[in-house]
Chain A
Amino acid sequence: MTSTKYAAYKKSKYPFGIFMLIVAILYLIPALGVFLTSFRTDTEISLHGIWAVSGHLTLDNYLAVWSSSSTRIYMRNSFLVAIPATVISVILGTLTGYVLAKLKPRGTSFLTLFFVSGLFIPPQILLIPLFQLFNKVHLYDTLWPMIIVHSGYGISLCTLVMKNFFKNVPDELIEAALVDGASEPGILAKIVIPLSRPALGALATLQFTFIWNDFLYPLILARSESAQTVMVGILNMAGQYSTAYGAQAALSIVASLPTIVVFFLFQKQFIAGLTTGAVKG
């Protein structure tokens, strides 16, 4: 009885795989709309909508987006914010995570709570003070506030992920190095960090995605096009030409490409980052 059931279960895996594939494709249907829109002219959209199977496709929207100087500014700004902020938050989180997992100074449990509780702070409570702070130091409407804010706000997640990772690094390795006369920064740089490459990769993937996709801080901390990131840029486009659906969809796709590429290239790391940050927390 049990063995036949098991066999039946084994046999069922092919139809089941096909079933899950259909579920997955249905799940992605909403995204198809933007994709289709990006290949249609606005006239065509206003006549037939976007879901019609007929009609011809065009690359004009992509050409328009690509040749627009705004797009290049937005994309460049997004990179100029996301890359440094990712690097800084990961470095600072590594330092904190290492201290909390391995050096354990007095008050470690309080410090852990202190840093990790930032994950539960709604960003809205930071907006007015940050807005005033960066106005006061005349950095408002430049890229600096976004780099600084993401570097600081990201410390919570980076600390949590790195602390969970360092917990599993054997103490013996560190002690052996200490006996050999290595310094604390030397141990961190030469022994611990090389071991943490997978965790660092996972975390960087995650942070880059979060920072690239952020919308709230650029909305608050920058105003002019020259300091705007692409996620706010998509919205600006909607304001400028209210019926430029095609171009807006094309910009949405272009703006999503970096994170989609990162996601496909580093899917394993991306998932590992989410789950070590989450499940073991």
Chain B
Amino acid sequence: MVSRKRYWAWIFLSLPLALYGLIVVGPTLYSFYFSLTDSNLLSKTHNFVGLANFRALSKDSDFWEALRNTAIWTFVGVIVSLVLGFILALGLSKTRLWSRAIKSILFLPLALSLVVVGFIWFWIYRYDFGLINLLLRAVGKDSLTKDWLADPSTALISVIVAWAWQQISLSMIIFLAGLTAVPADLMEAAQMDGAKPRTQIRHVVIPSLAPAISVVISLALINALKTFDIVFVMTQGGPFGKTRTLAVLSYREAFRSYNFGYSSAIAVTLFILTVIIIGSFMYLTKRAGANDD
């Protein structure tokens, strides 16, 4: 009986393995190889150039700018998802009246494409008819109005806010699921003991939310690191590269400049960064979890 099971396991796995290998594993390995060549769209052949692309990257100010933007995005993305996602989820968990309708509204951004999210926020940030400037003018603060997406000092944070609008909905859902898993008797006991809401949150809610917190952080990390769509739609990486992330830079090198080797080096760098960041985060949470037990 046992041997029959093994036999079937590999039959069941054959198709998924083949397709996953073709679409995910193979291309990833191939990109590693590409990053060591001078491949481009036009030349039929390419030469092995060792680490030349990576050396060039280290001297490329566009790369450092993109790395900085990606880092800011990731940092802000994680903090905002955690804090606002948690506060809104806590609010939702206490809501009885119209809770279904309220949830539907707050989760709706998740049904939208980042392309549409970009268009949505375009009408908030525009200079002439944008909502922010309209409100500023209404309260007489005309001097503060600006073209939020074209101004180098506000472009990046503006796009991050638009992106976070959807990301917060995601972390809200995960926190809400985590909150409903907080043992009710524990909460009741804390309430009976007269624990203040703040104490309840600190000593009962947050410890039992640990798994949800780690999921929210990892999702925010991965989504922020690979950010592409919304930048492409809203600013194309501009003004002056102020919103260009590593993913956008890699796309531009590949499909605008057709430097496949150089673009692959950027993509590989992004991949390694992601593996290091997510990997060390998972390692740390695992260790923290082991200490708790």
Contact = CB atoms under 8 A, between A and B. Distances in A.
> Is the A/B pair a real complex?
yes
Given A1-B194, A6-B191, A126-B31, A279 B174 contact: yes
A95 B275 contact: no
Given A30-B165, A103-B5, A234 B12 contact: no
6 contacts: A2-B192, A14-B97, A128-B267, A131-B255, A213-B112, A259-B113
A127 interface: yes
Given A95-B12, A256-B111, A33 B222 contact: no
Interface residues of A, number: 97
A1 B264 CA distance: 65
Contacts of B131: 29-30, 33, 51
Nearest to B5: A103
Interface string B104-148: 111111111111100111111000110100100000000000000
Interface of B: 1, 4-6, 8-10, 12-13, 15-16, 19-20, 22-24, 26-28, 30-31, 34, 88, 91-92, 94-99, 101-116, 119-124, 128-129, 131, 134, 162, 165, 170, 173-174, 177-178, 181, 191-194, 211-212, 215, 219, 222, 225-226, 228-229, 232-233, 246-247, 250-251, 254-255, 260, 263-264, 266-268, 270-271, 274-275, 278
B24 A129 contact: no
Contacts of A30: 120-121, 123-124, 131, 162, 165
Top-3 shortest CB links A-B: A17-B97, A49-B129, A152-B23
Given A125-B31, A152-B23, A264 B104 contact: yes
**Chain A: interface secondary structure?**
helix
B174 A275 contact: yes
Contacts, number: 281
A176 to B, nearest CB: 13
